[in-house]
Structure 1
Amino acid sequence: MVPATLLVLTSLLLLAVLVSAADLYKILELSRSASDKDIRAAYKRLSKKYHPDKNKDEGAEEKFVEIAQAYEVLSDSTKRRIYDRHGEEGLKAHEGGQQHHANPFDMFSNFFGGGHPGQQTRRGPSSLSEMEVNLADMYTGGSIDFMVKKKILCDHCRGSGAASSDDIHTCPGCNGAGVKLVRQQIFPGMFSQAQVTCNECGGRGRIITRACPHCSGQKVLDHTQHYSLEIPRGMPEGQEVVFEGEADESPDWDAGDIVMRVRSRREKGGFRRKEHGLYWRETIGVDEALLGFEKNLTHLDGHVVQLKRAGITQPGFVQTIQGEGMPVYEATGYGDLYIEYNVVLPQKLSPEMRSKLSEAFHGHAGHPKDEL
């Protein structure tokens, strides 16, 4: 009979072996044929998704560490080659029986802009666009779909520009260095050497014998991508929403960002906004300005606001209705609604109306011939 303690220890050891033997490609949701760019993109996406500062789900921190350790191996060409051939045991042997994993939080910081400038990959240009949305969407919050035309890596050659990996060869002119040493005569008997970009490969160090038939060797394709812009309640005017790593792709750089600067669409006769305040211009007649009135105003989200005046309303008078303005962004409460009244005079008066007004204001009836 095997002691229970020994069974427990055996089970724990087996579990540890299974964890350490996890497929690093599966952790990053990649195939074994993934390119270096694919590996970087997968790490960027997954590390952001499971970062403990943003993801509070149970197990997110362990997943974040696991992703960082997988990236540490697969992003290193030597470690990846050993792992592909010999697995985890081969890596342990290569590192002298110990695995020195980098701090996953330092790796994340370095990858997203920290660390030493010399260690950063070149970043492509970002794009900035203005987007106008309905003020109602900024009041209630919502989601707006839009499309962007951009360049993406050819899905056939993954940005190499070659029909297959067998069509990529080391440049014979520079032996893969990308540069050549050119000897120039200064004057008889004296020469100088200068380093110039290889004219055969354009400095790439590789030549392609057969171009990719899908992109004609251009490495990138035109693509229209659909996006969804989330608008929170009370979003400030001019706020920029960043879609990280979604700008034009290229094998020569990491994609920049798509930045959308959001503003409310100006509509004639509609609500106007200033920070948390909303402004509305209401037109009333002379009778309403003198005698008072009750009106209903339909707000941006469809609810009704009652406009009520009991006394005389002067042209240009501004009424403040508290708590009916814009939602306060990332907080509770609302701003105020300001109603500016515009009094419209009639184009002309009938004799009867003129007589009544004259009697009301002057104490006697006006004469019909006085009508304009």
Structure 2
Amino acid sequence: MAARRDFYEVLGVGRNAGADEIQRAYRKLVRAYHPDVNKDPGAEDRFKEISEAYSVLSDPETRRRYDAFGPDFRQVPPDVDPAEWARARATTGTGGGGWGSPWPSGFGSGIDVEDLFGGMFGRRQWGPVPGADQEAELTLTVEEAYHGGHRALTLPGGRRLEVRIPAGVTNGQRIRLAGQGGHGSAGAPSGDLQLVVRIAEHPRYRVDGRDLYAALPLTPWEAALGATVAVDTPAGEAKVRVPPGTSTGRRLRLRGRGMPNPRGAAGDFFAEVRVMVPAGLTEEQRRLFEQLAAVSTFDPRGR
């Protein structure tokens, strides 16, 4: 008869795993190997193994005995001290190759482990299985992400629900809808639906985290002389001061005018300067530009 696998190995967790980690591992495995959903020949045995491991490690007292006595923890009397057990193993030479029993061979004879475990194997009715967590993308405009609001969604299967979008959500942020994932069986709770936010490309704004970027077209004289100009933001129009001598590529920051943050400081808004030259000049405009060219010593190429 093959030796039983270590219960921690069965669930894929470390020996110092907490209760939450053990439960998460169990839920993940049971969804994969439950006989109702997995028809592979070995799935039923694997499911039994997973269920037994979880029933032991999810109970603090049973887990303590398992850690102390290994697979023999059900046969060891409750008043046995773990230190005495370890010494007995060392004395009888059963400690070298795993958890061997140091008790006399007659001890425990006639005990049916199946009965001790409550008839899990062969007689156990499959218990409730929690629903699987599900994931879907939620594509938003910059304005929707900035202001928040409500969005109607149609899920696979035609189910519709309304989602509340918090103001200031960012790319990759998850919106959790409890109980809106896969249905559980036999009365078990449904899983959760995780909506992963994706902010769509925008004709005016570029998003980087909570910062927003937008082009700011300027005339040559606004850039040269300085000006205060209007710029559109998702929150409405704002004024930005252009210092004299501003060139294309300079970023003018409006602090706190980026994406809002319900838990901290908002992002910033950056107006990226683009100096624009008129495509067609009147005779007067051409004359003025020629006068400027005649008196200016500015050489942008540095020669």
TM score, norm. by length of structure 1: 0.41
Would you tell me which structure has more strand in proportion to its own residues? 1
TM score, norm. by length of structure 2: 0.50
Higher relative contact order (CA 8 A, sep 6+): 1
